[in-house]
Amino acid sequence: RGRQRSRKKSSTPTSYTATGPNQVFTWDITYLPSGVRGQHYYLYLIEDIYSRKVVGYDVYDRECGEMASQLLQRTLMREQCFNQALVLHSDNGAPMKSLTFKAKMEELGITSSYSRPRVSDDNPYVESLFRTLKYVPSWPSKGF
């Protein structure tokens, strides 16, 4: 009793590089306030790290793996990147790790990549986009 365990050494995350479009996507969910007190929305966004193009997005009233699965499938259909070696990088949020979403990724033949726990720097592309989006002067201060 009273002994501390030794710290786990943090491993270097696996990094993927894209040499062209539709090779590595990154995605995340951000909170959007609404004009009604106690109500908010979630912006689901998928970005291609090669071109920084937003390839898919949607706004929902809750975080859910089912909705994320639908967005992913619609995005792949729109970008016509079925049967390609695609990597989808995300953080460790509940929708990203849900069984529904993992099953959809396996069905579509997508390789998953996750950030290290509590390290937001591992998902910089989409986090940077969210920061830019929320600090633009035309962003509604009272919500949507």
> pLDDT tens digit string along 80-139?
988 888 999 998 889 999 999 999 999 999 999 988 877 767 788 898 999 998 888 887
Q: State the pTM of this model.
A: 0.85
- Look at strands 86-90 and 54-60 and give their pairing: unpaired
Cβ pair 29, 60 in contact under 8 A: no
pLDDT band at 1 (very low <50, low <70, confident <90, very high): low
H helices of the chain, where? 65-79, 94-97, 99-108, 124-135
Q: How far apart are the first and last CA of the chain?
A: 53
Residue 7, φ and ψ in degrees, nearest 5:
-65, 140
Fold of 24-135: Nucleotidyltransferase; domain 5 (3.30.420)
pLDDT in tens, 3-14: 777 776 666 556
